Structure 1
Amino acid sequence: MANTLDPMDLKQMISLHLDGFSNRKIGTTLGISRNTVNNYMRLFNASDYSCKELLAFDNAALEVLFPSHTTIDNARYEELMLYFEGVNKARNHPGFTFLYHYQEYVQQAKDPYGYTQFMEHYWRKYTREKGSMKLEHDPGKELFIDFAGKKLHIIDKQTGEVIPVEVFVAILPNSQYTYVEACRSQKREDLINCCKNALQFYGGIPKAIVSDNLKSAVTRASKYEADINRSFKDFARHYNCVINPTRGYAPQDKALVENAVNLAYQRIYYPIREMRFFSLEDLNREIKRLLERYNNLLFRRKEASRRELFQSVEREYLKPLPEMAYELKGYRRAKVQKMGYVYFSPDKSYYSVPYRYIGKETTIHYTSTAVEVYYYHQRIALHQRNPSKGSYNTNKDHLSSTHKFYSDWSPEFFKKKAAVHGKHVLGCVEKIMNGVDYPEIGYKRAMGVIQLHKSYGTERLDNACKRALQADAATYLRIKNILKNNLDKSSLFYQDLEEDKSHIPNHDNIRGASAYQ
């Protein structure tokens, strides 16, 4: 089964084309078949958009426009490469022939290559003569990065524990201008942060970053088509460059950065061998001081320093930095819950999405400041990140009409609703809400009182509330009982007092005050 090209690979292909790369160079840089690159370039040229416009499209739009496939079948290659391991071990055996092994390969392979391709791939893997050559590096084309094999150390002031730290090294091969930084680990976050700091140090961006096959950079290593870590690929897209991992077991691909690591041992490790550092900041401050001295050393043959070569030649070939520095993204998968929120596990909190996506599987992209929710490469929600544990973060536009009504509940909301039905209803609602410590309980009781108008009408509700206030019985159940038993219609003691009427009925047998003179 052929692999679908990642939309990020399409953007890198377009970016390299705009930088003047030929189709062959684009294929070599990205590890993609030249024919595949040719096919995509024909599709780009035949589209209704220019390459610059295509570069501005989001991933989903590119995927719709160009759903083509690569011509590389990784399973087929892997099968051949595994078979070659046995062939190579048998080469020195008397009577060995390639034709014999090819016939054996054809019998056991599911989809065998032809004999010509069989031999071509073999000699690519096991060259007849191994040698080295001096590679010419164009200015501003590549930045080589690697971690040093030996670690430095810092000391915890509180416990006295000696903590090993990694050392990141980057070099521009044309000028050999070098950047060195100590960091906590080789994890994805530290690698990307070090690369970001290196680009800031150089003040520009090369066309490609050449990395080792680190786990934090490459998800799946391959001699032909490595799978780049998603966050690292996103970093490259932000800075408009490409990631080009070196071939496995091919140290000549990164000879310059290996040499830079050895020089870092001499120029940085050795001078600080007897120094003690109690924080990463202190260590990097001393590294920076020694690095400046190292970059200012003169090359004997070139009669110029690394810094001078960089400033006079290589700097102008670097692309400008973007206005905003890259912010590391993390990724999580989450299903939209029935209440219209996705669960964000790093903070154990919840973020709303439009209610029509309830039950859908989504992908959460997050940084230290923002949380984005995507459904099939389309962003459906954007929130400012709230680090509070267990918080519910709501955009009211995402809620259904029922939920919006509920979310609008407040003391002012209920007072406004009650005032429509009369001053006595308003008085009861205010008294109910003032009489509880937990607002939501008062809201529910107040809503119950207001909803009684649907069954009994506004006038009767206001009269019932008047009676309840006079009897100091302003509760939902009391008001409901007054209406249910028609007490709002009967002549009550309180009403008689207001009208100056005696509550004792007239009768002939009842004596008045004159009988007691």
Structure 2
Amino acid sequence: MHEFRNVLIRLRAGDRDREIARLGLMGRVKVAQFRVLALSMGWLEPSAALPDVPTFAQSLAPKPKRAASTVSKAQPWREAVTRWMAAGVEGKAIHAALVREHQFQGSYSSVYRLMQDIAQELPRTDLTVRLSFKPGEAAQVDFGAGPFLMHPDGQMRRTWAFVMTLCHSRHQYLEFVWDQTVATWLGCHRRAFEWFNGVPERVIIDNAKCAIIKACRFDPQVQRSYAECAEGYDFKIDPCPPHDPQKKGIVESGVKYVKGNFLATREFRDLAELNAQAKTWVLHEAGLRTHGTTRQQPLALFALEQPFLKPLPAQVPDLGVWHPVTPHRDCHVKFEHVMYSAPFALVGKALWLRANDGCVALYEGYVLVATHPRGQRKGQRVTTPDHLPPQAQWFFGRDRQWLDEQASEVGPHCQQVIDWLLSDKIVERLRAAQGVIGLTKTYGHSRLEAACHRAMAHGSPYYRTVKTILSTNADQLPMPQTSTDAVYTKTRFARDAASLFADPDARTHSHTNSHTHPHHPQQDLLH
């Protein structure tokens, strides 16, 4: 603006346009135009002060010319449109309001042009400030979509890139996984901290379900498993406010860099090869590049940042996954398609299930109520017998082994009856054997042994025979010497127990006859 100031001084001194042009300060036509402006502004008055630079700039600025065709038809309602825009009303709604309330005949494009013109006059609201972080202060975490690969189940599935970036050095940990479950989330954190050989003071995340149960700007609810991880590794969880991903822009840029630089030009056979190439890329390419923001290599800055990270805990934390469960009426809860038993008294109540790599534990509030080894296959049932109701424990506890043990305690003849019942090749006589052993509660061991002896002596080792002998006190009578004794005149059995067990065919024949005759053997006893 100094040439206009010099020309103004010459004009106020009385120099003519040609003289000023001859000095080379400005062309004659331009001097004449400036003289007209100076006269209109009163700058040529001897008593007027010389204008300053901003006044010169404002006066000499060219007036923009706009074609009439670019002027919006909605210009008469500019004030109303400005008010609506300040209130956050969208363009389609503004156009509809103009048509409804002011009988506007123009198109939406005319309203859009007016809104663009008004937006240049309104104050900017999308301003931002770049965050800076001290060494070891924070890391940012995010998931990004990876390539499709063949899953072990034989189907093509998408992979997901887990990226953790240290905010100061921009050094990152990159791992591709099949899902975004809580167990995967926790495992990636463990391997990332081991990769950095340290833990940052806080981890900045978004509101993924594997980390945050309920997103909130002021009071977010952290997933119980992730809170346990943060306590074990001694870091703070810093979730971003909802709909505000700019708070973790460092890792957002890192995910874009992975997609555009690493994934764009490579091919992978499987997940193992993908992760192997990813680690090589981080160490030999991404870590050695000159970062666009820091203007330094991430690995070089990481060498300075690493001492500021918190040391890893002496004992690796037990990272368990927590799930709310409710025991079904069969006294089991379901986790990853495996059934685990819970005490029958807790059926229908809300419990917490905690699963790690080796075991599954059930809690009622903070009280441990059950522990099981981790199931290895889908559909498996892991059951503790004490968790079942008493009647079920009674049913499952009286198996063949238990019957054999109880019969051996009663005596050899009872053992023979139980063995004969359990060795039947046609009918399952487990309940009959349980019934025979159950008679000890009423009659005791000695009487049951005597009744079994008498039943075997007449080749009728059945539950009904043993019970009839006991109920009629026949076990207390002396044993007959022959099968024709008066006490057994109506019996149809001529073989004794020894011959019955010595000849398997005879046993089968006797068993068959017991079903083909219209009268049961024990009906002919003790008339």
* TM bucket, shorter chain: 0.5 to 0.7
1:425 maps to 414
Q: What do the CA deviations read for 1:244-269 (whole angstroms, capped 9, x no partner)?
A: 11234444422322332343345423
- For 1:263 and 1:233, the matched residues in 2 are separated by 30
**Residue 343 of structure 1: SS of its match in structure 2?**
strand
1:213 maps to 207
- For 2:381 and 2:88, the matched residues in 1 are separated by 67
- For 2:362 and 2:434, the matched residues in 1 are separated by 35
Amino acid at match of 1:479: V
Could you tell me which of 147, 154, 175 is aligned with 2:149? 154
**Residue 240 of structure 2: SS of its match in structure 1?**
coil
Amino acid at match of 2:188: C
Deviation at residue 477 of structure 1 after TM alignment = 1.2
Greater RCO structure (CA 8 Å; 6+ sep): 1
Deviation at residue 321 of structure 1 after TM alignment = 4.1
1:286 maps to 277
1:352 maps to 342
| 2:231 maps to 1:263 | no
User: Given the superposition, is the C-alpha separation of residues 87 and 303 from structure 1 closer, same or farther in structure 2, using an over 3 Å criterion?
Assistant: closer
- For 1:468 and 1:322, the matched residues in 2 are separated by 71
Deviation at residue 162 of structure 1 after TM alignment = 6.7
User: Given the superposition, is the C-alpha separation of residues 372 and 167 from structure 1 closer, same or farther in structure 2, using an over 3 Å criterion?
Assistant: same
- For 2:439 and 2:185, the matched residues in 1 are separated by 64
Could you tell me which of 157, 168, 172 is aligned with 1:174? 168
Could you tell me which of 473, 476, 499 is aligned with 2:460? 473
Could you tell me which of 135, 139, 144 is aligned with 1:139? 135
The share of aligned pairs that are identical, in percent, is 22
User: Given the superposition, is the C-alpha separation of residues 252 and 357 from structure 1 closer, same or farther in structure 2, using an over 3 Å criterion?
Assistant: closer
Q: What do the CA deviations read for 1:54-74 (whole angstroms, capped 9, x no partner)?
A: xxxxxxxxxxxxxxxxxxxxx
User: Given the superposition, is the C-alpha separation of residues 336 and 376 from structure 1 closer, same or farther in structure 2, using an over 3 Å criterion?
Assistant: farther
- For 1:246 and 1:172, the matched residues in 2 are separated by 16
- For 2:340 and 2:181, the matched residues in 1 are separated by 27
| 2:186 maps to 1:199 | no
- For 2:86 and 2:416, the matched residues in 1 are separated by 95
Deviation at residue 414 of structure 1 after TM alignment = 3.1
User: After the TM superposition, which residues 219-298 of structure 1 pair with which residues of structure 2 at under 5 Å, given as runs?
Assistant: 219-270=213-264, 273=265, 275-293=266-284, 294-297=286-289
- For 2:156 and 2:347, the matched residues in 1 are separated by 50
- Contact 1:132-1:252 within 8 A present in 2 as well: no
- For 2:390 and 2:88, the matched residues in 1 are separated by 76
Deviation at residue 490 of structure 1 after TM alignment = 5.8
User: Given the superposition, is the C-alpha separation of residues 495 and 188 from structure 1 closer, same or farther in structure 2, using an over 3 Å criterion?
Assistant: same
Amino acid at match of 1:312: L
**Residue 495 of structure 1: SS of its match in structure 2?**
coil
1:305 maps to 297
Consecutive unaligned residues in structure 2, runs of 5 or more: 1-82, 90-122, 490-527
User: Given the superposition, is the C-alpha separation of residues 434 and 290 from structure 1 closer, same or farther in structure 2, using an over 3 Å criterion?
Assistant: same
Deviation at residue 370 of structure 1 after TM alignment = 2.2
- For 2:160 and 2:347, the matched residues in 1 are separated by 44
1:449 maps to 436
- Contact 1:333-1:362 within 8 A present in 2 as well: yes
1:495 maps to 481
- For 1:154 and 1:453, the matched residues in 2 are separated by 66
Deviation at residue 277 of structure 1 after TM alignment = 1.7
Amino acid at match of 1:246: C
Amino acid at match of 2:341: Y
- For 1:296 and 1:278, the matched residues in 2 are separated by 26
Amino acid at match of 1:365: R
Scaled by the length of structure 1, what TM-score is found? 0.60
Larger Cα-atom Rg: 2
- For 1:178 and 1:303, the matched residues in 2 are separated by 16
Consecutive unaligned residues in structure 1, runs of 5 or more: 1-85, 93-126, 504-517
User: Given the superposition, is the C-alpha separation of residues 315 and 297 from structure 1 closer, same or farther in structure 2, using an over 3 Å criterion?
Assistant: farther
User: After the TM superposition, which residues 29-44 of structure 1 pair with which residues of structure 2 at under 5 Å, given as runs?
Assistant: none
Deviation at residue 279 of structure 1 after TM alignment = 1.2
Scaled by the length of structure 2, what TM-score is found? 0.59
User: After the TM superposition, which residues 288-437 of structure 1 pair with which residues of structure 2 at under 5 Å, given as runs?
Assistant: 288-293=279-284, 294-297=286-289, 305-321=297-313, 323-324=315-316, 327=319, 329-335=321-327, 337=329, 341-344=331-334, 346-347=336-337, 349-353=339-343, 355-358=344-347, 360-387=349-376, 391-396=380-385, 398=387, 408-435=397-424
- Contact 2:333-2:342 within 8 A present in 1 as well: no
Deviation at residue 232 of structure 1 after TM alignment = 3.1
Amino acid at match of 1:144: Q
**Residue 136 of structure 1: SS of its match in structure 2?**
coil
User: Given the superposition, is the C-alpha separation of residues 137 and 382 from structure 1 closer, same or farther in structure 2, using an over 3 Å criterion?
Assistant: same
Deviation at residue 186 of structure 1 after TM alignment = 4.3
- For 1:416 and 1:164, the matched residues in 2 are separated by 57
- For 2:186 and 2:445, the matched residues in 1 are separated by 66
User: Given the superposition, is the C-alpha separation of residues 490 and 251 from structure 1 closer, same or farther in structure 2, using an over 3 Å criterion?
Assistant: closer
1:89 maps to 86
